[in-house]
Chain A
């Protein structure tokens, strides 16, 4: 029986880099799941973001909810040139899972749902929209608001194939 949920590509950073890109993503799956443990080099508490198909236009927006053990809050960002999906720390690795539904169709905007946590600090969830005229996602670039993604950060992209 063919695998339904399988790794497409994985990377553990051996040096600090500004971006990580998954390219040539096959269109043969239904959903994508991106699993990350990420730390960055500067600006503790800033955000992590992604871009699809190298699109740098202001086609991204997001709504989030956040809880830190004392309070819960929600906020949103609109018309950005990247899609936020989590936060990042300079001291610890934040764990994030991003689910990108129906990424390969050319009929719908692409919406992802993510959940993140930074141990002993917070838990966080983003819903992120990419509203470029519908096209299949064939590359994903991950970046931070400032500084580099640091050595030891891990990124694994999975594909899920529906019946």
Chain B
């Protein structure tokens, strides 16, 4: 069965691009989305991630509204190609995504994550996120499904991503923020 992938014409939707950052030569320490409008119902961030940490893998931290107090918690389900496991953290100072390749990993390999941030503009509930992603290197890999909670009723107006190691995100890493209307 051969299908010609010709785009449908005239379709408009309620899923809109807000901003995108793609890391340039030399890397970038921090990815920030600020002044996020409150006009959507949900947010989605689609990430392509690699760091320049000298270790084999790195992971990504995520903070809302510059809050670095211990207002975050999370649960994760993951598979590393050998075993499936689960982990949790309470009173953390950041939300997080799973692991991604870093400097010593195969060149050109990146982790991918899709992060959903539900009801982000609400001022009467804590914020909950869901992230599914992973990385794959032909000899090792990881799949990660996790939820994060931010115990704040403030509307989310900014999101900051940094690597857990403190090293830069590598060139071609990309973070794209989308808004979904309700």
Interface pairs (6), CB distance under 8 Å:
A5-B13, A9-B4, A102-B172, A108-B110, A113-B112, A129-B137
A8 and B8 form a contact (CB under 8 A) = yes
Interface residues on B, range: 35 or more
A76 and B81 form a contact (CB under 8 A) = yes
CA distance A162 to B20 in the complex (A): 6
Q: Tally A-B pairs: CB < 8 A.
A: 195
Q: Is B103 an interface residue (CB 8 A)?
A: no
What 20 new A-B contacts, CB under 8 Å, besides A9-B4, A102-B110, A129-B138? A4-B17, A4-B178, A11-B3, A24-B4, A61-B139, A62-B136, A65-B145, A72-B84, A73-B84, A74-B79, A74-B81, A76-B140, A78-B139, A79-B138, A101-B174, A125-B79, A125-B132, A126-B143, A127-B141, A129-B137
B141 and A23 form a contact (CB under 8 A) = no
B6 and A9 form a contact (CB under 8 A) = yes
* Residue ranges of A at the interface with B (Cβ–Cβ < 8 Å): 1-9, 11, 13, 17, 19-26, 30-31, 61-67, 72-76, 78-79, 99, 101-102, 105, 107-109, 111-113, 115, 125-129, 131, 134, 149, 155, 157, 159-163
B12 and A23 form a contact (CB under 8 A) = no
CA distance A73 to B46 in the complex (A): 26
A129 and B80 form a contact (CB under 8 A) = no
CA distance A34 to B81 in the complex (A): 24
**Chain B, interface SS category:** strand
Which single member of A24, A62, A113, A160 contacts B133 (CB below 8 Å)? A113
